Chain A
Amino acid sequence: MSREGLSRRRFIAVAGATGGAAVASQWPFARARTAPPRFVGYPFTLGVASGDPTPDGVVLWTRLAPAPLSPDGGMPAKPYPVQWEVAKDEAFTNVVARGEEIAVPGEAHSVHAEPAGLEPGYEYFYRFKANGEISPTGRTKTAPATAASVAGLAFAFASCQQYEHGYYTAYKHMANEDLDLVIHLGDYIYEYDTNSYQVSGNTNVRGNSNHEIVDLGHYRERHAQYKSDPDLQAAHAAFPWLVTWDDHEVDNNWADDIPEDGLPLEHFARRRRNAFRAYWEHMPLRKATRPVGKDMQLFRRAAYGNLASFHVLDTRQFRSDQACGDGTRAGCDDRNNPARTLTGAQQEQWLYNGLETSPAKWQVIAQQVFMAQRDATNGPGESYSMDGWDGYTVSRDKLLDFIETREIDNPIVITGDVHQNWANDLLADFSNPQSKILGSEFVGTSISTTGDGNDNVNTATMAENPWIKYNNQRRGYVRVQLDQNVCRTDYRTLQYVKRPGSPITTHKSFVVEAGNPGLKDA
């Protein structure tokens, strides 16, 4: 699946009609109407990105940051124009869209351009210009037409990239895959000060600014530091991304208005607002998702013709506080309290509506925390993580019941958070391992969090929870290939991340057959 050049990528096979106006031009950036004020330095130190593809557009992102690690990015407190253009070729001889955005200090001089009128299922190249400098070229791809019959698509999903714990070699390899889309399931940054979150043996290999991030400037600096990584930049520049957050974008295990620790609620509300703003500023998200106050609309859908619908969840912003004081608990009845919710009622209904009305073959639920039941106590007795769906059993039961009773075909859940690879079948009743399989959950390991990992297999947990079919503790990501018959999943793993340069291998592959739920060895 490796590629040798951007131009050799395959396109999504699309049988539907295509449209979109081409505006060929040989005058790159000639439409600048004013001579913008200048500032000192190269502005594109954080690279470029694209995201949230639709059949006729995509979000193009960059941020002007000539001094990337400064809270203001080294930019004067003034607005600056940024030109962008989209072409069908890497040399930009066939430009099909261009425009100008004003990057303002209140948004960290970030740019979220939204070209429209592009052709569905098509590969494009984009770049920005500001301060007399031209950005690196990004490559992106629109989604297929809404009614298109789509033969296949490939995507990868990733999560958990603690910078101090290792290098982003996984992204270096991901950038060489042949993908239509990347999905990030959260923990894009970590909020800690240097070395307060250590890998085993206290051997962190990189460092942060030496304070836990709370202020807006802190969050901006941390995002910029992560974005300074060349491998992460390469993966962003190679594919459109769908992103969602988990906890560390704000604070470990936060739940709606509740912080992990004893921070006063009014202060946490400000912290959450700062974190949301910085997250939006640094992600290829649409302008419509810009946070309002301390709220941000992040759950959303991406449709890939008749092949796949991606339902991207936000299981942090609307959840009830973790039951029984969080952690892994035994005998916690409150986790079964019907008044408690993981998604919030509005998002839950939105998900149900989307599952029921989607015309696509595969329903991909992209979310954060472990959905399948996972009893952490070996043998007699039970204990569960209060942070995952096990801590919100009513939310899980309602969702699985909806899938069963409404006959939602081919649900695939993709999950991050736990820094290990797992593969689980989702059962109608986890108290009966023989009950009906409704779908499958693929839990992806971390990009770097907890360091190199090892080849141990948690056989005890698998024995305790027989719907869990696979466990691996190396770093990497998961590659998924969908067609009208099969969902194939490849667990891509690295030998190490505490040094750069690890090779990558496929440790395990599964297939799920359309119309025949359940994991099968590939």
Chain B
Amino acid sequence: MKFAIALAAAAIAVVFAIRADAVEEAPDAALQLVEIEQQTPYLESYNSTIAVGNTTQSIIRRQGNSGGVVFSSQAYAQFENHNADGSRATFPVEVEEGALYGISIQFVKAPTHGIVQVAVDGRPLGQPVDLYAPALQRAEPVNVGTLALAEGKHTFTFTVTAKNEAATNYFAGIDLVILDTQAAVQPTPTAVATAEVGGEVPPTLSLTLDGTVGFDAFQPGVAREYTASTDAKVTSTAGDAMLSIADTGANPGHLVNGAYSLQQPLHARAGNSGDFFPLRAAPLRLYAYSAPVSGHSVPLQFRQAIGGNEPLRTGRYAKTLTFTLTTTNP
């Protein structure tokens, strides 16, 4: 949900408005099932010539149905790793469509299996999964996390990090990787509030705008830069966050008064120094957080230049601006 701040000036009036923006439509669902044993494991521990049972090296091999247990496409990838050394099995996976995916892994459990950490393109995803079971079995899919994956070739790495005391070896079994946009946890994208509303914020991201924003009255025939400011208070539990501002109204970036608009764009900046940037329809990224913050106060400053010969129409020049606090790492 988005709210908005209205920034206006004419007869001094500045009005905060509330506007509920529609939630962006979800993209078309994409689902891709990856039979991991059918991917050439060309990155790690691949050696077709090593005999099964060799205790000094690890191999990956295709293992068919066994003991009455049926696997997806009749087989799974068995990572035969005898060592407590963090050996990795990596598979290239061609993602057919770039999207935000919920990633689920259908593992295979067995008495010989250890505890496995999944990583995609080298970044760990989710918590380690214990693949020990007293008997061979196909496990239910485990949702290990949500990742935005570009179309193209990625690496899926399975690292045996440890083993259950009951497990007799450091093997792992992977049957299927499920990439499903509908299983993706959508990032908590926005939390925006007006000064008047305050308080009504999601638990992980909050943005509050303090005080009244007001320019002095615009005076015709006087070339001048008008300034106004307010403070944003940001609380974020996300790993990173970005405070942005956008003007999605008519004649983006310009204050309007009915059919009239100011010639020069409204500018904004975060902080009390540095450059002002012109507003526009696309989000202008004002401030980046690389760590969680609580109640961090960010000065927001606005600047409007009016030329000496610029015609001004009686009334209120105003615009509703949308501030957003977003994260890709909730």
Residues of A within 8 A of B (CB): 26-35, 39-42, 45, 66-70, 72-75, 92, 129, 132-134, 194, 202-210, 221, 225, 228, 230, 233, 498-501
Known: A133-B328, A228-B122, A499-B83. A41 touches B155 (CB 8 A): no
The residue on B at minimum CB distance from A163 is: B43
Known: A68-B153, A133-B328. A228 touches B271 (CB 8 A): no
Contact B49 A70 (CB under 8 A): no
B44 contacts across to A, CB distance below 8 A: 205-206
28 A-B residue pairs with Cβ-Cβ distance under 8 Å, sorted by A, are A27-B271, A30-B270, A30-B271, A30-B285, A34-B282, A35-B282, A41-B149, A66-B121, A66-B152, A67-B150, A68-B154, A69-B92, A69-B152, A69-B154, A70-B150, A73-B152, A74-B150, A74-B153, A203-B47, A203-B57, A205-B46, A205-B47, A206-B42, A207-B40, A209-B42, A228-B121, A228-B122, A499-B56
CA A34 to CA B274, docked complex, whole Å:
15
Please pick, from B95, B148, B152, B274, the residue contacting A42 in the complex, using a CB distance under 8 A. B148
CA A35 to CA B283, docked complex, whole Å:
6
CB neighbors of A among B265-280 (8 A) = 269-271, 274-275, 277, 280
CA A452 to CA B222, docked complex, whole Å:
80
A70 contacts across to B, CB distance below 8 A: 150-153
Residues of B within 8 A of A (CB): 40-47, 49-50, 56-58, 83, 85-88, 92, 95, 98-100, 121-123, 147-155, 240, 242, 244, 269-271, 274-275, 277, 280, 282-288, 290, 326, 328
Known: A68-B155, A132-B326, A210-B40. A35 touches B284 (CB 8 A): yes
Contact A74 B151 (CB under 8 A): yes
Contact A27 B50 (CB under 8 A): no
Known: A35-B282, A132-B242, A207-B43. A67 touches B152 (CB 8 A): yes
Least CB distance from A452 to B in Å reads 10
A interface, by DSSP: helix, strand, loop or mixed?
A: loop
CA A28 to CA B288, docked complex, whole Å:
6
The residue on A at minimum CB distance from B97 is: A40
CA A472 to CA B257, docked complex, whole Å:
82
The residue on B at minimum CB distance from A209 is: B42
B47 contacts across to A, CB distance below 8 A: 203-205
The residue on B at minimum CB distance from A137 is: B290
Least CB distance from B284 to A in Å reads 6
Contact A27 B270 (CB under 8 A): yes
Least CB distance from B196 to A in Å reads 27
CA A133 to CA B238, docked complex, whole Å:
13
CA A92 to CA B49, docked complex, whole Å:
50
CA A500 to CA B85, docked complex, whole Å:
6
Contact A29 B88 (CB under 8 A): no
| The 7 nearest A-B residue pairs measured at CB | A67-B152, A70-B152, A74-B150, A40-B98, A66-B150, A207-B42, A69-B153
Please pick, from B151, B280, B285, the residue contacting A40 in the complex, using a CB distance under 8 A. B151
Contact A45 B122 (CB under 8 A): yes
Contact B46 A30 (CB under 8 A): no
A69 contacts across to B, CB distance below 8 A: 92, 152-155
CA A26 to CA B240, docked complex, whole Å:
15
CA A444 to CA B1, docked complex, whole Å:
60
